[in-house]
Amino acid sequence: MAHTRRFLPALAGMAIAVLLSTGAQADRAARDAQDAAAARMVDTATFKQDGPYRIGVSAGYMSNSWVVFALQHIRWEASQHDEVSEVIVTDAAFNPAKQVSDIEDLLRQDIDLLLYWPVDDAAIADVLQRAVAAGVPTINTGGGFADGPGTVANAYISQWSLGEDVARRLMKDLGGKGRIIAMLPIAGTTAAVDQLDALNTVLAEYPEVELLTAEYGDWNRAKAKQITENLLQRYPRIDGVFSPAGQMSIGVAEAFDEAGRLDEVTMSPGDEYNGWLKWVAEHKQGGAVPFPTRAGQVAVQIGLKILKGEPVPRGTAVTATFISPETVGEYVEMDAPDDWWASKLPPKFLPPR
Amino acid sequence: MALGTAALHPAWRRLDLASTGIWLLLGGVALLAAICLPQFREVENLANIVRQSSVLGMLAIGQTFVILAGLIDLSVGMATGLVVVLTCALVDGDSAMTLPVVLLMLALGAGIGAVNGTLVNVLRIHPLILTFGMLFVLQGAIFTYADRSVGRASAPLQTLANGDLLGIPIAGIAVLLVLAVAHFLIVRTRFGHHLTAVGGHAENARRAGVNVRRIRFLAFVLSGLSAGLAGLILAGRLGTGYPLAGSGLELDAIVAVVLGGTALSGGRGSVIRSVAGVLVLSLASNLLNLMDVSAFVQTFTKGVIVIAVILANQPRRMAMAA
Amino acid sequence: MTGPAASPALRARLDRLLAANAIFVALLLVWLVGAAGSEAFVTPGYLFNVVRQIAPVGIAAIGVTYVMILGGVDLSIGAVISLTAVFCAVQMDGDAANTLPAILLTCLVGTAIGAVNGALIAWSRVTPFILTLGMAVAVYGLTQIYSGGTARGTVAPGFRDLANTRLEGLVPVLAIVFLALAGIGLAIQKMTTFGRQLFLIGSNRQAAILAGLPVRRTTVIAYALAGLFGALGGIALLARSGVSSTSAGQGLEFQVLAAIVLGGTTFEGGRGGIAGTVAGVLVLVMAFNLVNIVGLDYHLQLVVMGAIIILASALYGQLQARTGRA
C-alpha cells in the first residue's frame, strides 16, 4: 500500500546486499573470507543442458533507475545470444512474500536460469534452494555478495572497495587535512556499514582529517539536502563531504550552494548517476567511482556459462574505471534526465526518456 | 423503519449479484486460466495458489467480522508484520520454542485487537481513523524493534506454511478449519446475529438490548487474532522476520472481503465468499504472472480493480435520514 | 433553540474558542521549545528555510483541507504528487520555453485526477477513504507505466534556480509561493459561495441536500481543487529537489493528513480550515526538525504521527460533541 512506500526506497538498501549486524569495525578477516568464498569455483556439471534457454528474472523491486538499467543490460545481453529464447520478468514491488510466489511461478514456467535481486535475502533463501534442487541455477545480480546454498553464483559490487576508493580520492583532493561530513545510505545496510568502515580505515592514515558526523540520507536526494541544510546550521566550517552515492551528492552540493558555502567545500567522487555527472562536468570537481549497471549483463554471461557446464567462480566482482572531472565529458549526457545512468547500452535498449 | 427494511430484505437478496457474483467470477477466472495456460492446470501450481492465498485468507476472515459489524480494521497488515518479526526473533529456528511463541503471538494479535476495540469505544472516533493511526504506531514499533530482517522461523512453522498433508497444503487446511469455525460463529451463534444486527443498524440493535460496545470489542479481537494466525503462516513462508512483511495486506484483505459481496456499510456478508474473493485475487495474480504481464501494469490494474469493486459494492439502501 | 444557562454557555464558548485556536497555541509552544533548545529557531534564515522544506506538503494540504471540510478524504494525493513531479519534468524537457506550458499542463493533469475522484464519489455512495486508496494504487501504477521506472524528464533551466533564490538574500521564493497559495486558498474558503457551501454540506449533508445545495458540484470541485493543489505540490517538490525518483511523493499523504487533522479539520467534516492547516503544517515540520536535532529516529516519528492522528481526532471530536454542532 502507498503509505509504506516512503520506507521502501529506504529498504531497497537492505535488499541490495546481505546485512551485517556488526558495527563500524567489520573486520578484515570477514572480508578476506568473503574474497576467498568469491574466488571458489562452482561445479556447474549438474546444470549443464542444451538450449534454447528461458531466463527468468525475479526483481525484488523495479521502481529505481539503477535497477531499470541493470534489467536493460540483461535484455541486451540476452538478445545477443540466439540460444536464449525468452526473458521473463516478475516484479515483487518490495514485497518479499510476493517474491517467493513470483519465483514459484517462474519455476512453473520451466525457466532454465534464474537471475534475481532480493527484497530480502533471508526471505527467499528457501525458495532459491528449491530452484537449485530443481536444477535451475540462480544468480544474485548487482548488490553485494551472497553466499547461501540457494545462490549458485554472484555478479556483485563491493561496497567496501568502492568506499575505500572514494575516501582515498577525497583525502588526496583535501590535501590530507580538514573537517568532513559523511553522507551514507540507510543505517544498518551493508552499503552504509561497509562505506563507513572503509572511510574509517582510510581516515586512520590521515590524523589531520576530522570526521564531524556521519548521516544517513537513505539514497534520497531531497532527504540528503534537508539533512545537509541542518548540518550547515550546526557547523560553521565544513571542508569536505564523503558521499559515494551520486544521487545524494547532488542534494548535498545543492544545500551548500544555496547557503553560499559551496566554495569552502570539497566534494568526494560520487557514482555514474547522470545528475551527478552533470554536476561534475559543471564544477570540474569530484568525479565518479562507478557502481556499474552492467552487472545485469555480467549475470547473463555467467548464467550462460553455467548452462554450458563451464566452470565459473562463485562471485564475479563487477568494476569499472574511475571517471575523473577531465574524462567526465565521455560519460555525461547533458540532455538526458538526472535519473539516468551512464552506460554503453545501445539506443534500442535504453529506457524511455 | 426497521420493519420496512426487513420486508425489503428478501427482495434485495433475490436481485443481489453480490452473493452469487463472486462464484461466477471465481469460476470464470479459473476457466480462463485453465484454457489459456497449460501450466496452470498442474497440481503443483494449484497447490502454490492455495499456499499463496493462505495468509490473505486468514486476514480476510478476520476483516469480515469487523466489516460485518460496520467497522473496519486498517491495522491488520502491520499487526501481521509485527507478529512475523517477533515470531522469528523469539523462535530463532528453535522448534521447541514454537508452541509457547505461537500462543504468545495469538495473544498479541488478540491484544492489538482489544486495544483497537477499547479505543473505538472509549475515544468514540471513527474506526478508519483509529486503525489508520494505529497502523503508524505499529509500523513505528516494528522498526524500533528491528530495522532489518531478524531471526529464523522454526521447522514446524515452515511445515505449516509450505508443507503438505496427503498432497493438500497444510496452510490451506488451516484456513479451512478457521473458516468453518468463523462461519459457524456468524451463522449459528447469538454473537453472530448480534454482530450483523450491530452492523445493520447500531441504534436499533442497542434498543433491542444488544451490547453494542461488547460486540465491537469482540469483532476487533477476532480481527487481531486473525492477524496473529496470518503472521504465523507468513513467518513460516518467509522463514525470517522481515519488518515490512505485512505492508499493504490490509487493503488486499478489504478488497477480498468486498469482492465477496460483504457490504462495507456492515450487516450483510459471508466469510466463505470472502475467502472466495481471496482466491480470485490470487488466481488473477498467478494468471498475470504466468502471462508475463508487466508489473507496472499489474499495479495499475490492481488499483482499477479496487475502484471498480468498491463502486460495484455500494450500499444499496439510501442513507437512513434520506 | 432553547436558551442554555449562563455558565454552560460560557463554557461552550470557551471550548469553541479553544477548539478553534488550539493549533495556534501549539504552534507558539513548539516554537518556544525550539527557541529554548536551539539558536536556529530565532534565526529568520532558518525559519524561512523550514517553510521552504515543507512547501510541497503544505501546498498539497491546502487542497485536501477542502475535501476534509466536506467530510471526505483524499489518500491519492501522495501518488498525484509523484506523478505530477515526473510529468512536469518530462514536459519541460530541459527547455526554458516549455516552463509555463509544462506547469499549466501538469496542473490540468492533477485537476483531472481530482475531478475523477470527485465525480466517482459524488455520483455514488462509496467510502472516499477506500476509493482514494484504490486511486492511489492506480495512479502509482500509472506513474510507473508512464516513466518505466526511471524518473524521466529534465527540468527546464532557470526553473529551479528561480524557485530556490532568496529574495533580499533571505526569503526563498518557494516559501513565498507556499504562503501566497495558502492566501489564495484561504480566500476561496472565506470569500466564495463554494467555501461557505463546503461547511454547510460537511456539517450536515442531509440538510444540505434537502436545502437544495449543489452537493455533487461542490464535491467535484473540492476534489478537483485537491488534485490541483496536489499538482502544485508536485511542482514544488520538483523545484525543491529535482526529480530523483518515481515515488518521491509516496507517503506524503500521511504528513498531509496529520497536518490537517492537527490544524482542526476533522475526518467528520464541517469544521476547520486553511489557516489551521497551515499552522498544523508548521507545527509538524518544526516538531520533526526538533526531533532531528534531539536525535530521535524516524521510526519514533512514525509513532508520534500515528498518535497525533488518533489523539487530535479524539480531542476535536470531544470538543465538538460538547459544543454541539452548527
Q: Which pLDDT tens digit goes with each residue over A185-237? A: 877 677 788 899 899 999 999 999 999 988 888 888 888 888 898 888 778 89
- Angstrom CA distances, B271 to B175, B184, B187, B267, C224, stand at 11, 10, 10, 13, 37
Which of A31, A78, A77, A34 has the alpha carbon at shortest distance from A53?
A78
Count other C-beta atoms under 10 Å from residue B210's C-beta: 18
Question: What value does the mean pLDDT take over residues A105-115?
Answer: 92
Residue C150 sits at the chain B interface (C-beta within 8 Å): no
Q: C85 near C250, Cβ under 8 Å?
A: no
Give the pLDDT score at A98.
Answer: 87
CB spacing of B239 vs A125 below 8 angstroms: yes
Give the pLDDT score at B64.
Answer: 96
Which of A291, A293, A300 has the alpha carbon at shortest distance from A115?
A300
Of the two residues B298 and A85, the one the predictor is more confident about is A85
Per the listing, cell 470557551 goes with C14
Q: B47 near B207, Cβ under 8 Å?
A: no
Classify the C-alpha dihedral B174-B177-B182-B185 as positive or negative: negative
Cis peptide before A52 (omega within 30 of 0): yes
How far is residue A68's CA from residue C115's CA, in Å, rounded to a whole number? 33
How far is residue A147's CA from residue A161's CA, in Å, rounded to a whole number? 18
Which of C267, C302, C125, C260 has the alpha carbon at shortest distance from B124?
C267
CB spacing of A105 vs B48 below 8 angstroms: yes
Contacts of C43 in chain A (CB under 8 A): 233
Provide DSSP, C35-63: HHH-GGGG-HHHHHHHHHHHHHHHHHHHH
Amino acid at B12: W
Give the pLDDT score at B314.
Answer: 67
CB spacing of B290 vs A187 below 8 angstroms: no
Percent of chain C with pLDDT over 70: 92
Give the pLDDT score at A51.
Answer: 81
DSSP letter at C297 equals: -
Contacts of B214 (CB under 8 A, 6+ apart): none
Give the pLDDT score at B319.
Answer: 39
Give the pLDDT score at C1.
Answer: 40
Which of B135, B318, B107, B118 has the alpha carbon at shortest distance from B216?
B118
Give the pLDDT score at B228.
Answer: 97
Percent of chain A with pLDDT over 90: 54
Contacts of A22 (CB under 8 A, 6+ apart): A30, A193
Give the pLDDT score at C307.
Answer: 84
pLDDT at B208 over 60: yes
CB spacing of C310 vs B129 below 8 angstroms: yes
DSSP letter at A4 equals: G
Question: What value does the mean pLDDT take over residues A288-309?
Answer: 94
Which of A272, A291, A274, A293 has the alpha carbon at shortest distance from A70?
A293
CB spacing of A96 vs B242 below 8 angstroms: yes
CB spacing of B234 vs A97 below 8 angstroms: yes
Amino acid at C3: G
Quote the strand ranges of chain C, DSSP E. Answer: 166-167, 171-172
**pLDDT category of residue B28 using cuts at 50, 70 and 90:** confident
Give the pLDDT score at A314.
Answer: 93
Give the pLDDT score at B242.
Answer: 87
Contacts of C75 in chain B (CB under 8 A): none
Q: B117 near B211, Cβ under 8 Å?
A: no
| Alpha-helix runs per DSSP H in A207-273 | 221-234, 246-258
Residues B161-191 as b/e (b if ≥16 CB within 10 A, e otherwise) read bbeeeeeebbbbbbbeebbeebbebbeeeee
Give the pLDDT score at C324.
Answer: 53
- Tens digit of pLDDT for each residue in A117-168? 988 888 888 899 999 999 999 999 987 888 889 999 999 988 888 999 999 9
DSSP letter at C156 equals: P
Of A198-202, B4-8, B16-20, B232-236, the one with minimum mean pLDDT is: B4-8
- List phi, psi (to 5°) of B15: -80, -10
By CB atoms closer than 10 A (0-12, 13-18, 19+), residue B214 is middle
- Tens digit of pLDDT for each residue in C109-155? 999 999 999 999 999 888 888 899 899 999 999 998 888 777 778 88
**Pairing assessment for the beta strands B168-169 and B164-165 based on DSSP bridges:** antiparallel
**Length in residues, chain A:** 353
Contacts of A65 in chain C (CB under 8 A): 149-151, 245
Question: What value does the mean pLDDT take over residues B105-130?
Answer: 92
Considering CB atoms only, which of A63, A258, A339 is closest to C144? A63
Count other C-beta atoms under 10 Å from residue B223's C-beta: 32
Per the listing, cell 472565506 goes with C190
How many Cβ pairs closer than 8 A exist between chain B and C? 136
How far is residue B297's CA from residue B293's CA, in Å, rounded to a whole number? 7
Q: C282 near C267, Cβ under 8 Å?
A: no
- Tens digit of pLDDT for each residue in A257-270? 888 899 999 999 99
CB spacing of C78 vs A221 below 8 angstroms: no
**Helical axes C215-241 vs C173-191, angle rounded to 10°:** 170
SS3 at position A111: coil
**pLDDT category of residue A27 using cuts at 50, 70 and 90:** low
pLDDT at C30 over 90: no
What distance in Å separates residue C35's CA from the closest CA in chain B?
A: 28
Contacts of B137 in chain C (CB under 8 A): 302-303, 306-307, 310
CB spacing of A351 vs C240 below 8 angstroms: no
Residue C176 sits at the chain B interface (C-beta within 8 Å): no
Percent of chain A with pLDDT over 70: 91
Give the pLDDT score at C305.
Answer: 75
Give the pLDDT score at C108.
Answer: 97
CB spacing of A67 vs C149 below 8 angstroms: yes
- Could you tell me the maximum CA-CA distance found in chain C, to the nearest angstrom? 68
Contacts of C45 (CB under 8 A, 6+ apart): C170
Contacts of C257 (CB under 8 A, 6+ apart): C64, C73, C75, C309
Give the pLDDT score at C221.
Answer: 96
Percent of chain B with pLDDT over 70: 91
Q: A114 near A138, Cβ under 8 Å?
A: yes
Considering CB atoms only, which of B143, B238, B289 is closest to A90? B289
Question: What value does the mean pLDDT take over residues A318-332?
Answer: 91
Give the pLDDT score at C43.
Answer: 83
Residue C135 sits at the chain B interface (C-beta within 8 Å): yes
pLDDT at A12 over 60: no
Of A185-189, B267-271, B281-285, C125-129, the one with minimum mean pLDDT is: A185-189
Amino acid at A234: R
Contacts of C81 (CB under 8 A, 6+ apart): C56, C60, C230, C233, C234, C237, C248, C249, C252
**pLDDT category of residue C293 using cuts at 50, 70 and 90:** low
Percent of chain B with pLDDT over 90: 46
**pLDDT category of residue B34 using cuts at 50, 70 and 90:** confident
- List phi, psi (to 5°) of B29: -65, -45
CB spacing of B234 vs A90 below 8 angstroms: no
Contacts of C299 in chain B (CB under 8 A): 139-140, 143-144, 147
- Angstrom CA distances, B248 to A296, B172, B280, C245, stand at 30, 21, 18, 21
Among left, alpha and beta (phi > 0; psi -120 to 50; other), residue C169 is: left
Question: What value does the mean pLDDT take over residues B73-93?
Answer: 94
Of C174-178, C190-194, C289-293, the one with minimum mean pLDDT is: C289-293
What distance in Å separates residue C323's CA from the closest CA in chain A?
A: 34
Per the listing, cell 550546526 goes with A234
Question: What value does the mean pLDDT take over residues C205-217?
Answer: 91
Angle at C186 between CA C182 and CA C188, to 5 degrees: 115
Which of C271, C206, C321 has the alpha carbon at shortest distance from C65?
C271
CB spacing of A188 vs B234 below 8 angstroms: no
Residues A230, A228, A182, A332, Cα dihedral to 10°: 180
**pLDDT category of residue A3 using cuts at 50, 70 and 90:** very low
How far is residue C168's CA from residue B128's CA, in Å, rounded to a whole number? 47
Give the pLDDT score at C297.
Answer: 65
Helix (H) or strand (E) holding C323: helix C298-323
Provide DSSP, B197-216: HHHH-HHHHHHTT--HHHHH
CB spacing of C241 vs A254 below 8 angstroms: yes
Mutate to test the interface with C, among A231, A233, A261, A277 (most CBs of C within 10 A): A233
pLDDT at B316 over 60: no
CB spacing of A95 vs B247 below 8 angstroms: yes
- Tens digit of pLDDT for each residue in B155-189? 999 999 988 888 889 999 999 999 999 999 999 99
**pLDDT category of residue B322 using cuts at 50, 70 and 90:** very low
Q: Which of residues 191-230 of A touch B (CB under 8 A)?
A: none
Amino acid at A159: Q
Residue A101 sits at the chain B interface (C-beta within 8 Å): yes
Contacts of A32 (CB under 8 A, 6+ apart): none
- Angstrom CA distances, B222 to B63, B121, B211, C93, stand at 9, 16, 17, 54
- Tens digit of pLDDT for each residue in C33-59? 888 877 778 888 788 888 888 899 999
Q: B93 near B272, Cβ under 8 Å?
A: no
pLDDT at B8 over 70: no
Is the ipTM of this structure higher than 0.85?
no
Of A56-65, B68-77, C216-225, the one with minimum mean pLDDT is: A56-65
Of A40-54, B232-246, B294-308, the one with minimum mean pLDDT is: B294-308
Give the pLDDT score at C296.
Answer: 63
Percent of chain C with pLDDT over 90: 40
Q: C138 near B304, Cβ under 8 Å?
A: yes
CB spacing of A230 vs C289 below 8 angstroms: yes
**pLDDT category of residue C325 using cuts at 50, 70 and 90:** very low
pLDDT at A272 over 80: yes
Contacts of A100 in chain B (CB under 8 A): 237-238
Contacts of C130 in chain B (CB under 8 A): 254, 258, 264, 306, 310
**pLDDT category of residue C294 using cuts at 50, 70 and 90:** low
pLDDT at B5 over 70: no
Minimum Cα–Cα distance from A273: chain C residue: C244
Among left, alpha and beta (phi > 0; psi -120 to 50; other), residue B240 is: beta
**pLDDT category of residue B17 using cuts at 50, 70 and 90:** low
What distance in Å separates residue C267's CA from the closest CA in chain B?
A: 8
Provide DSSP, A218-237: TT-HHHHHHHHHHHHHH-S-
Quick one: how many helices (H) and strands (E) in chain A?
11, 12
What distance in Å separates residue B128's CA from the closest CA in chain C?
A: 8
Residue C123 sits at the chain B interface (C-beta within 8 Å): no
Contacts of B302 in chain C (CB under 8 A): 137-138, 141
Considering CB atoms only, which of A1, A108, A125 is closest to B247? A1
